[in-house]
């Protein structure tokens, strides 16, 4: 029975602990949370009332605020921290890792300062790591509730992908594998940016025509960038790309869409973010995505307008107008 250390006590980390408790294979599970109040809640109430209220943590899941404790004996390290904090957390893990421990990154974002994908962050902080990436359309609340969910497990190491697929799969949590780490990570980061645009559209009171255009052209942007960076087009047409984009752009549980809706209604970004402890990864990934696009020579007009709105350089209605008035072209 393998021990899985879940690094991050937010909604997704909590939901994955619940889902892994239902897996076909039994595990020893432990969660590390950065905030002492979350550690206390999970230990005493067994309910993450801050991030994922109403779901009981399985009785066998240990909870700690100490990395040495959670990583002791752990053969699989499941990273579920926000992208902005990933490097410092992986660096802090390094002295406590078991020899041969493998890493599964479930963080969907880019490091804001370096524009690095999270697998690149892990590789720069941990000597010769074996890494897989977990992504795809998966709201934490619905995974915790047990709704049938299909996700993607990606690794350049086929044997690792197969191993984690077997370990994580359950009756209502299905994993597909592929080896396109670049395409999967770019899709997981950029779909959050497009979802903010979709939310802006909703907040402005615009209809289904606009939403369909944003999602479809947003997918085109995601695909152009992923392919330019070495990813595969078919990955963007699958669960990690189109599937997650549809979910995040249209689902009521989407944090990034919610931020966009409030921006569309005229609220200031700082006010929106200060009202919640939840992280909307698209806010931090927009600038990093644009920089990657600039380096790769890829045009990303929706991402550009989202970035302009987030930095308060452009009103939301002006951003939509600029997208509609761009130079006419073939699809």
Q: Which helix (H) or strand (E) covers residue 218, if one does?
A: helix 208-228
Residue 191 among the catalytic residues: yes
Rounded to 5 degrees, what are φ and ψ at 6? -100, 115
Residue of 3, 45, 191, 329 marked catalytic? 191
Residue 28 · residue 38 · CB < 8 Å: no
Q: Which helix (H) or strand (E) covers residue 166, if one does?
A: helix 158-168
Residue pointed to by tokens 């990934």: 285
What three-state secondary structure class fits 125? helix
Residue 214 · residue 302 · CB < 8 Å: yes
Rounded-to-integer distance, Cα 32 and Cα 67, Å: 7
Residue 230 · residue 180 · CB < 8 Å: no
Q: How far lies 182's CA from each of 52, 135, 158, 228, in Å?
A: 30, 12, 15, 10
| Active site (catalytic) residues | 191
């Amino acid at each position: 029975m393998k021990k899985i250390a879940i690094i991050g006590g937010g909604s997704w980390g909590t939901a994955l602990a619940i889902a892994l408790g239902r897996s076909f294979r039994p595990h020893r599970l432990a969660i590390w949370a950065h905030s002492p109040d979350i550690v206390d809640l999970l230990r005493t109430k067994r309910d993450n009332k801050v991030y994922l209220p109403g779901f009981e943590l399985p009785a066998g899941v240990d909870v700690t605020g100490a990395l040495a404790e959670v990583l002791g004996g752990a053969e699989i390290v499941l990273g579920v921290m926000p992208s902005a904090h990933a490097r410092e957390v992986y660096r802090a893990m390094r002295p406590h890792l078991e020899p041969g421990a493998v890493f599964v990154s479930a963080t969907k974002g880019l490091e804001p300062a370096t524009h690095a994908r999270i697998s690149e962050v892990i590789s720069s902080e941990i000597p010769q790591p074996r890494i897989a990436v977990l992504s795809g359309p998966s709201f934490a609340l619905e995974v915790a509730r047990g709704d049938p969910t299909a996700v993607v497990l990606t690794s350049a190491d086929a044997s690792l992908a197969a191993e984690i697929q077997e370990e994580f799969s359950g009756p209502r949590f299905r994993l597909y594998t592929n080896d396109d780490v670049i395409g999967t990570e770019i899709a997981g980061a950029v779909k959050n940016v497009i979802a903010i645009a979709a939310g802006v559209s909703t907040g402005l009171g615009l209809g289904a025509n606009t939403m369909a255009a944003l999602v479809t052209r947003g997918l085109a942007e995601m695909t152009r960038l992923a392919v330019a960076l070495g990813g595969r087009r078919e990955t963007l047409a699958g669960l990690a790309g189109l599937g997650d984009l549809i979910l995040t752009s249209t689902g009521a549980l989407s944090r990034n869409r919610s931020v966009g809706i409030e921006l569309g209604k005229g609220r200031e970004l700082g006010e929106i973010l200060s009202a919640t402890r939840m992280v909307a990864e698209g806010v931090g990934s927009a600038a990093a995505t644009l920089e990657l696009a600039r380096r790769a020579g890829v045009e990303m007009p929706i991402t550009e307008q989202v970035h302009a709105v987030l930095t308060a350089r452009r009103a939301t209605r002006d951003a939509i107008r600029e997208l509609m008035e761009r130079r006419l072209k073939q699809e």
